[in-house]
C-alpha cells in the first residue's frame, strides 16, 4: 500500500466531531456510570454536534476560498456560543467533575482554534488554518492519559500522531487541495495538548 493511500485511510477515523461527542460520554461513564453518560450527552451536543452542524452549513453556503483561509465569523461566534452554553449547564448543575473538566478542555481547544482562524496573518490574510483533527486528537489523548491511565493514554497519543501525519499526507497526496501543512498539523497538535491538558488538570 502506498503511503498516501494509507494516509487517506487513516485520515477520517478520529474525526473531531466523533471525538467531541464520544469523549465526554466515555469520560462520564468512567466517572459515574449511567448518570455520567447522561451528563456527558450535554457537552457532546453543545461541544460536538452543534458546532459540526454550523461548519456543515458554512461549507455549503460560504465555502472557503482556500485551505489557508480561516472559518467564517458566524461559525466561530455560533460555535463559541454553543460551547459556552454547554459548559454553563454542566458547571451550574451537579455534573461529575470529570465531565466538566472534559467539556472545558474541549471548549479551550475549539476557542483557541477559532481565535486562530480569524487572527490576522502577516501577509494580510485572515486566519491561521490550524488542524482541528490534530488538536482534538491530541486533547483527547491527554484526557485519556489522565482519566484512563498510561496504557490507554499511550494508544490515544499514538493515534493522535497518526492523525497529524495523516493530515499532512493528505495535503501532499492532493497537492494542497485537502489536508494541512506540517506546520498547521504540528501547531494544532500543540494547541490541543497544551490547552486541553492544562484546563483538564486544573478542573479535574
Write the Ramachandran bin of 51: left for phi over 0, alpha for psi from -120 to 50, otherwise beta: alpha
pLDDT per position as a tens digit, 101-136: 999 998 899 888 878 877 776 666 656 788 888 999
How far apart CA 55 and CA 82 sit, in angstroms, is 13
Q: Are 103 and 112 in contact (CB under 8 A)?
A: no
Beta bridge partners of 120: 126
Using an 8 Å Cβ cutoff, are 199 and 105 in contact?
A: yes
Q: Show me where the domains of the chain are located.
A: 3-203
d(CA 7, CA 182): 14
Query: Among 176, 79, 87, 81, which Cα is nearest to 132's?
Result: 79
Supply the pTM of this predicted model: 0.81
d(C-alpha 83, C-alpha 92), whole Å? 14
Q: Are 96 and 36 in contact (CB under 8 A)?
A: yes
Convert the pLDDT of each residue in 15-54 to its tens digit: 688 898 999 999 999 999 999 999 999 999 998 888 888 8
pLDDT digits (tens, 9 = 90+) for 9-25: 544 444 688 898 999 99
Amino acid at each position: 500500500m502506498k503511503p498516501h493511500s494509507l494516509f487517506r485511510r487513516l485520515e477520517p477515523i478520529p474525526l473531531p466531531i466523533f471525538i467531541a461527542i464520544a469523549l465526554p460520554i466515555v469520560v462520564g461513564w468512567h466517572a459515574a456510570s449511567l448518570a455520567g453518560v447522561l451528563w456527558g450527552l450535554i457537552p457532546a451536543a453543545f461541544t460536538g454536534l452543534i458546532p459540526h452542524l454550523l461548519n456543515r452549513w458554512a461549507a455549503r453556503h460560504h465555502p472557503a476560498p482556500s485551505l489557508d483561509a480561516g472559518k467564517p465569523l458566524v461559525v466561530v461566534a455560533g460555535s463559541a456560543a454553543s460551547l459556552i452554553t454547554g459548559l454553563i449547564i454542566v458547571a451550574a448543575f451537579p455534573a461529575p467533575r470529570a465531565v466538566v473538566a472534559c467539556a472545558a478542555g474541549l471548549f479551550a481547544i475549539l476557542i483557541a482554534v477559532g481565535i486562530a482562524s480569524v487572527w490576522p496573518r502577516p501577509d494580510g490574510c485572515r486566519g491561521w488554518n490550524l488542524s482541528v483533527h490534530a488538536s482534538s486528537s491530541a486533547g483527547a489523548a491527554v484526557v485519556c492519559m489522565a482519566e484512563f491511565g498510561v496504557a490507554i493514554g499511550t494508544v490515544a497519543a499514538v493515534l493522535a500522531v497518526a492523525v497529524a501525519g495523516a493530515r499532512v499526507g493528505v495535503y501532499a497526496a492532493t497537492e494542497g487541495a485537502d489536508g494541512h501543512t506540517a506546520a498547521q498539523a504540528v501547531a494544532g497538535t500543540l494547541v490541543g495538548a497544551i490547552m486541553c491538558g492544562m484546563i483538564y488538570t486544573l478542573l479535574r
